[in-house]
Amino acid sequence: MSGRDGRGHDLRVHARSLALLYAVGGPFVVLTTSLYRPAGRDEAVLYALGGVAYLAALLLRVASRWIPGWAYPLLVALGTLLITVGIDASGDGASAYAALYIWVAVYSYYFFRRWQANLEVALAGLAYGLVLWLGPSSSGPAARWALTMGTIAVAGRLVSSLVDQVRARAAEAAARAEGLREAERRTRAIIDTANDGFVAMDEQGRVVAFSPRAEQITGFAAAEVLGRPLAETLLPARLHAGFQHELSGFLDTGRSSLVDRPIEFVGVRKGGEEFPVELTVAPLRDGERWVFNAFVRDISERKRADRAMREHTEDIARISDVARDLSGVTDAHAARPAICKAARELGAAKVAILFEPDPKGQELISTAIAGAQIEQLHLPFTAAPTGAGTAFSSGRPHFVTDTIGHGGVAQPVRDQLGVISALWQPVLRNQVPIGVLSLGWSERVEEVSERVRSLMALLAAEAAVAIERADLLARLEAVARTADLTGLANRRAWDEHLPRELARARREERPLCVAMLDLDHFKEYNDERGHQAGDRLLKQVASTWREMLRPSDLLARYGGEEFGLLLPHCPLERGLDVVERLRGHTIAGQTSSAGVAAWDGEEPADSLVSRADAALYEAKKRGRDRAVPAPPA
């Protein structure tokens, strides 16, 4: 035994109980000695025993903390010997002091293990037996011993049984209490380590418990919020009244939209920062009062993830819309402006420019722009490095926070458009750069968001497909509007182009001429030299004449050996000069005839062509190899 004996009793209880026995036994001996004086009694010994009992009681009360557990059975045995000495000194084997053995038995069976108690009773029985047989005379010693020891045995058995029952129930109660404490410890451990903060409130909404996780979530220490209303501590002022109203409503009616379900609230951290929380309030009846257990979850990350997911879904939808719009563009010239428009909208930029390499691969040129109107930009590869050139050559996006003083930004973009920050996104086809999509912002952008970068990468991929489709459409258009043999514009291109030029001439109030040219005796030439020779003649004449014309002029193969010539910004006299120069370069010794008509500013295209054709017929009528002006309409 150390601090506790085998039955789990504190040694101080041992000491107090044993001291009580000694303290009661001492007066009992002294009192009976004083009042009852039979012959043969040794009063000195009895008074001495009383004094020893007093001293033992005092010692047990004063020095109990220093008395080890193994000493208590010895102290009880000492008491047994003192009782035996008292019986012997009393001069009467039937002395009432024998009743003190019962106290020994009761004490032993209560405090000691069963075997220890049995030893104490056996010691008492042995001592009492010896004093009866060897000590003062007494009538019926055997019967007296049997009666006394029987009484001790019965009393000890009853006490032992009673103690066992009491201790069993006490053990059960202790086990239940320990179970409750363990459950409380587990609950506290779960609460303290849970991802949710735990807050308990009383009926007035005052905080009575605040877990460590709640401290982490809110920034408040428990000491700062205990006793304060939860609403006034952790919720913004605009929600105080509503929260308290719901709490009071539950106390009045037992119903509230606030309890037993998670509700999203706006919480307030210690520094005043608002953040989204999920609050679950569970009411618990505690006697006559209610306690509200609230679980607080910081859902900032979930909200950010939800927002990111929504943005991602929106972005995919926007890119899908852009892809659908681009795929629906059938005009080869409209695809590139549509790409720039989409880039400007997706990037919330001031301007978007599409750069592509020129046919010779010597520079990047702007092929489309959205958000501004400036002249076409030229960025030679051999000049100083540019942002567009860097993105094109590396195949990776390039970003500049501040374009002021940055040599990689074209001056018109910086000065005329007021672009402060710029991003260049390469447009790749099969991992090969075919262009650069540039975004410019009029305000300083420290860093382009990952969202915008992703959008631009997706748009660039769609742009590559759209550009390829646009180029294919352009080639198909060119094929559809080009005569196979000569490479000149065909009749379809002529019929589309002429009305546009007439409308422009009308807007600009400038003259315009149309001429119809025909190779003289081409049928005979074909018959004499063969169709291949005739084809070569047509190709050579078309090539020679085309090189003699301005870029704005249109030479078309109108049909067979007949050509149409459109001369913008050209009066009749100059038109006749141009036609005469062309006729003078009719190769292979062949001649040609022409009719020239000047537009009057009002007549439709077919009427103008008819007049030129009639003049051509008149030239052939006059003997061919000449140009004839058409009379006014």
Give me the residue spans of the domains in the chain.
Answer: 11-170, 197-298, 308-478, 481-629
**Which residue bears the tokens 């061919």?**
624
Predicted TM-score (pTM) of this structure: 0.51
- pLDDT tens profile 274-314: 999 888 888 888 778 888 888 888 888 888 888 888 877 88
Model confidence at 224: pLDDT above 60: yes
Predicted confidence at residue 286, as pLDDT, reads 77
Distances (CA, A) of 194 to 5, 190, 209, 302, 573: 41, 6, 15, 17, 96
Kindly state the percentage of the chain with pLDDT values over 90. Answer: 24
**339 Cα distance to chain centroid:** 32
Name the percent of the chain lying above pLDDT 70: 80
Segment 492-509 mean pLDDT? 93
Q: What is the pLDDT of residues 147-182, one digit of tens each?
A: 667 677 776 677 677 767 777 777 787 788 777 777
DSSP single-letter state for residue 438: E
Q: Which fold has domain 308-478?
A: Beta-Lactamase (3.30.450)
**Cα–Cα dist 423/352, whole Å:** 10
Q: How far is CA 526 from CA 522, 529, 530, 564, 620, in A?
A: 6, 5, 5, 21, 19
Per the residue annotation, which of 178, 182, 561, 580 is the catalytic one?
A: 561
Q: Place 7 in a pLDDT band, splitting at 50, 70 and 90.
A: very low
The Cβ of residue 208 has, within 10 Å, a number of other Cβ atoms equal to 14
Read off the tokens for 111.
Answer: 């405090």
Mean pLDDT for the stretch of residues 547-553: 92
Average pLDDT over residues 487-509: 92
> How far, CA to CA in Å, does 94 sit from each of 141, 143, 147, 439, 578?
8, 11, 11, 120, 166
Question: What is the phi/psi pair of residue 94, to 5°?
Answer: -95, 25
What's the CATH class of domain 481-629?
alpha beta
1 pLDDT higher than 90: no
Q: For 516, phi and psi rounded to 5 degrees?
A: -115, 125
pLDDT the model gives residue 76: 72
Alpha-carbon separation of residue 140 from 145, 146, 273, 433, 479 (angstroms): 9, 10, 96, 128, 148
Run of H or E including 615: helix 605-621
Catalytic annotation present for 203: no
Bridge partners of residue 295, in order along the sequence = 198, 280
Q: Where are the beta strands (DSSP E) in 477-614?
A: 512-519, 554-559, 562-568, 592-598
E strands in 474-603: 512-519, 554-559, 562-568, 592-598
Give the single-character DSSP code of 259: B
| Rounded Cα distance, 319 and 309, in Å | 15
Which of 266, 295, 437, 279 shows the shortest CA–CA distance to 367?
437
Position 5 pLDDT exceeds 50:
no
Integer Cα distance of 625 and 405 in angstroms: 65
For residue 538, what is the enclosing H or E element?
helix 531-547
Rounded to an integer, what distance in angstroms lies between the CA atom of residue 514 and that of residue 491? 14
pLDDT digits over 50-105, tens only?
677 767 767 766 776 777 777 777 777 777 677 667 666 666 555 666 667 677 77
> Tokens 């011993």 appear where?
145
> Residue 265: pLDDT band by 50, 70, 90 thresholds?
confident
Burial of 285 (0-12, 13-18, 19+ CB in 10 A): exposed
Residue identified by tokens 């036609």 is 579
Q: Which of 277-291, 500-514, 562-576 is predicted with the least confidence, judged by mean pLDDT? A: 277-291
Question: Do the domains spanning 308-478 and 481-629 agree at the CATH topology level?
Answer: no
CATH of 197-298, one of 3.30.450.20, 3.40.50.300, 3.40.50.2300, 3.40.120.10: 3.30.450.20
* SS3 at position 424: strand
Using an 8 Å Cβ cutoff, are 514 and 597 in contact?
Answer: yes
